[in-house]
Amino acid sequence: MTRSFDLFAACLPGLEPLLSRELHTLGTEPRTMRGGVAFRGDARCAARACLWLGTASHVLIRVAEFPCRALGELQRKATLLPWREWLRPQVPIEVHATSRASRLYHTGAIAERIENAIGEAFGSPVRAPAAGDEVFARIHVRFANDVCTISVDATTSPLHRRGWRLAGAKAPLREDLAHALLLASPWTPDTALLDPFCGSGTIAIEAAGLALGLPPGRLRPPPLHHLALFDAETWLELRAEPSAPRGAGAIAASDRDAGAIDAARANAERAGVATRIDLSANAFTQHPWLDDRGDAASAPRRGVLATNPPFGVRIGRSEGLGVLWQSLGHRARRLGPGWSVALLAHDVRLARRCGMVLRAAWTTRHGGLSVTALVGEGTAAASTPASS
Ligand SMILES: C[S@@+](CC[C@H](N)C(=O)[O-])C[C@H]1O[C@@H](n2cnc3c(N)ncnc32)[C@H](O)[C@@H]1O
């Protein structure tokens, strides 16, 4: 019988409810906590979570828990643990320790005892990852109220690094945030999606992956090289699960920077979704669906304008951005009642210049800044003056 573990999917603060929804869809019983979502499952379930979760950054597998009040006791108990069932020999190991309300509070000494125990299990001292090491195991040791909990990280690199974004543009958005923006919006893959400030294409590429029913972690290295908990056969089975397309709504993305569009195209090709996205290099005012002078009827009847306009802090200054938001709101409203917006903003007051009724779906931190996902269901104008 396969062993069941306490598992924890970690995410950026603020994204927990969306991550919980994703875990529910995967058939687990999620419990939302601060910084992530707890659930139970075996190693296969953990690998499946690594493959399918779009808003998580790590999946932790709790392998041991015991009371402990002294360093000698820690070393003795940790030496008895079946490290060879969890870790692979010769893989560099990083031990991260925390302590709260416990007799053992020296996190360096805690980490050292765990490293000693692992070294003893494998018959050679633990080697820390060197710069450039791409495969290593991360162990989390947490002391709280004199109870020691040991977890191994199912992933070496954070899950938001999907593996397709090699070509960058200015201020790229993290893939998990793009995913979270889409999940918090009213968008469904049978309706249209438009990102008129697409940069490297992150939002449109995540949307195309969702529409095609592709797992977000499809290009990531399998979680096999650093942990003995996983086996290649299970991973191949999981990868072979058929993906069911979920809708054929048009996905369009544009940016005024032609270099960004080249990057977005290269990224979309690597992600295997290039044929699902209509990319064009133009100012947002000239996108065929938003162009004032053009034929507004060219836009599909239902859809979501999901975008991450320039923040002003990261690329350029805020002056002038008010006009941009105002114009964006004006054009979004002209798309018609079948459209909604999902806007990622650093400055919520600035975003309200678009003059639409917006609710904050989530707030988190990105690149040292607070960012909020603002969702407007239907493109109705706000009753208060746009600039208030
Ligand atoms: C914050 S970045 C978007 C980043 C993108 N979400 C990504 O993941 O790469 C804002 C983008 O808006 C583009 N932009 C700025 N002003 C624009 C305008 N008037 N029309 C179209 N694109 C514009 C910039 O070239 C930049 O790529």
Q: Does ligand 1 have an atom closer than 6 angstroms to the CB of 257?
A: yes
| Ligand 1 mean position, distance from CA 327 (Å) | 15
| CB 311 within 8 Å of CB 369 | yes
Q: Does ligand 1 have an atom closer than 6 angstroms to the CB of 308?
A: yes
pLDDT for the residue numbered 211? 98
pTM value is 0.94
Which has more pLDDT, 291 or 218?
A: 218
Mean pLDDT, to the nearest integer, of 95-105? 98
Residue nearest to ligand 1 atom 18, measured at CA: 283
pLDDT for the residue numbered 386? 38
At residue 1 the predicted structure's pLDDT band, cuts being 50, 70 and 90, is: low
Output 161-166 pairs: Cβ under 8 A, ≥24 positions apart: 161/220, 162/216, 162/217, 162/218, 162/219, 162/220, 162/271, 163/219, 163/220, 163/221, 163/270, 164/205, 164/219, 164/267, 164/268, 164/270, 164/271, 165/200, 165/202, 165/267, 165/270, 166/266, 166/267, 166/270
Indicate which atom in ligand 1 lies nearest the CA of residue 168: 9
Q: What is the largest CA-CA distance in the chain?
A: 76
Q: Does ligand 1 have an atom closer than 6 angstroms to the CB of 260?
A: yes
Indicate which atom in ligand 1 lies nearest the CA of residue 169: 9
Q: Tell me the pairing of strands 303-307 and 192-195.
A: parallel
| Ligand 1 mean position, distance from CA 286 (Å) | 14
What residue spans in the chain does CATH classification 3.40.50.150 cover?
175-216+238-376
Q: Does ligand 1 have an atom closer than 6 angstroms to the CB of 269?
A: no
Q: Does ligand 1 have an atom closer than 6 angstroms to the CB of 173?
A: yes
What residue spans in the chain does CATH classification 3.30.2130.30 cover?
5-153
Q: Does ligand 1 have an atom closer than 6 angstroms to the CB of 255?
A: yes
pLDDT for the residue numbered 243? 85
Domain 5-153: give its CATH code.
3.30.2130.30
50-89, pLDDT tens digit by residue? 999 999 999 999 999 999 999 999 999 999 999 999 999 9
Return the CATH fold of 175-216+238-376. Rossmann fold (3.40.50)
285-335, pLDDT tens digit by residue? 999 999 877 555 689 999 999 999 998 654 445 568 899 999 999 999 999
pLDDT for the residue numbered 387? 36
| Ligand 1 mean position, distance from CA 309 (Å) | 6
136-164, pLDDT tens digit by residue? 999 999 999 999 999 999 998 999 999 99
User: Which of 174, 195, 197, 202 most suits a substitution to test ligand 1, by most atoms within 8 Å of the C-beta?
Assistant: 197
What is the three-class DSSP state of 351?
helix
User: Which of 177, 255, 328, 344 most suits a substitution to test ligand 1, by most atoms within 8 Å of the C-beta?
Assistant: 255
The amino acid that residue 343 corresponds to is L
Q: Does ligand 1 have an atom closer than 6 angstroms to the CB of 268?
A: no
Residue nearest to ligand 1 atom 1, measured at CA: 310
Q: What percent of the chain has pLDDT over 90?
A: 85
